[in-house]
Amino acid sequence: MPTVLRARDFHIYTADGRRFVDLWLAGGKALLGHKPSSLVHELKNSAERGLFVAFPHPIEKKCIQALKALFPHKIFRFFANEERLHCTLKKWNCCDTVDEPVFMQKNSTVALWRPGIEDKPRLILIPIIPFPLAPAIAVLDPSLDFPDSEPIAPFLLAGTTRSMYNLIATFPTRPIFPRLNAVFTQSKWNKNGIYFYRRSCDKEQYSILFKHFLAYGFVLPPEQNIPAIIPGILSAGEEATLAKLIMFEPS
């Protein structure tokens, strides 16, 4: 990847003057785009109040209310980052692994949660929040005796709360791209909702795919086990180019 100077919506702009469509979207943490205006406003307000230290704050209850809108009848635990959460899962004697893509999992009691994917109920869900600075959150069945949350800075909880409400408001209205849907049925990519990943692909083949997509202005995820994401905005030309790329076969 060339050096990135800025990112906006579903595009990234590089130092050499090129624009790329981002199909990675930080693994889903930029699912709503790289610069949602309401999120930027919320972060500015929190920064002005100096809410960077993990003191108790009313935003904690607001964040839980936002989560309950998506996960009713569940309880929640907050951790500073994914590593801290995974360490807690191990100490809690949870032997299940959390692998990508979530829709490939069959029998795990722990799963990543991605918007728009229907899955059977799990005891523990780890939602990928569309906010790159979001803490790691465990969504739990109330019957579980899980360790308490770690304190999280109000600045981060404010961004997480706004991102959750943005998700609730905007995700159901994401556009459908019929040309893309048609080519997926003829390709070696599996698609589930807005997510897609390559079947039967080794690292060398994926490297060829990554470079080929990049040459045409599209950024795939850096690892093949992370699903790519169809952006919320594509021009007619971008949709046509992506459709051709989906049909490309590495030699």
Cβ distance 64 to 40 under 8 Å?
A: no
pLDDT at site 119: 67
Looking at the DSSP assignment, which residues form a beta bridge with residue 189? 198
Looking at the DSSP assignment, which residues form a beta bridge with residue 167? none
Quick one: CA torsion of 131, 135, 139, 140, rounded to 10 degrees?
A: 180
pLDDT at site 1: 83
| C-alpha to C-alpha distance for 210 and 220, rounded to whole angstroms | 6
Residue-wise pLDDT tens for the chain (251 aa)? 889 999 999 999 999 999 999 999 999 999 999 988 888 899 999 999 998 999 989 999 999 999 999 999 999 999 999 889 988 888 886 544 444 444 344 556 788 899 988 766 678 889 999 999 999 999 999 988 889 999 999 999 999 999 999 999 988 888 889 889 899 989 999 998 999 998 888 899 999 999 999 999 999 999 988 999 999 999 999 999 999 999 998 87
pLDDT in tens, 91-127: 886 544 444 444 344 556 788 899 988 766 678 889 9
Is domain 4-35+174-246 annotated with CATH 3.20.20.370?
Answer: no
pLDDT at site 108: 64
| C-alpha to C-alpha distance for 163 and 29, rounded to whole angstroms | 10
φ, ψ at 120 (rounded to 5°): -65, 155
User: Against a cut of 0.95, is the pTM above it?
Assistant: no
Consecutive H or E run containing 192: strand 189-192
pLDDT in tens, 35-67: 888 888 999 999 999 989 999 899 999 999 999
pLDDT at site 103: 39
Looking at the DSSP assignment, which residues form a beta bridge with residue 127? 113
- Which residue ranges make up each domain of the chain? 4-35+174-246, 56-170
pLDDT at site 102: 42
pLDDT at site 100: 44
pLDDT at site 101: 41
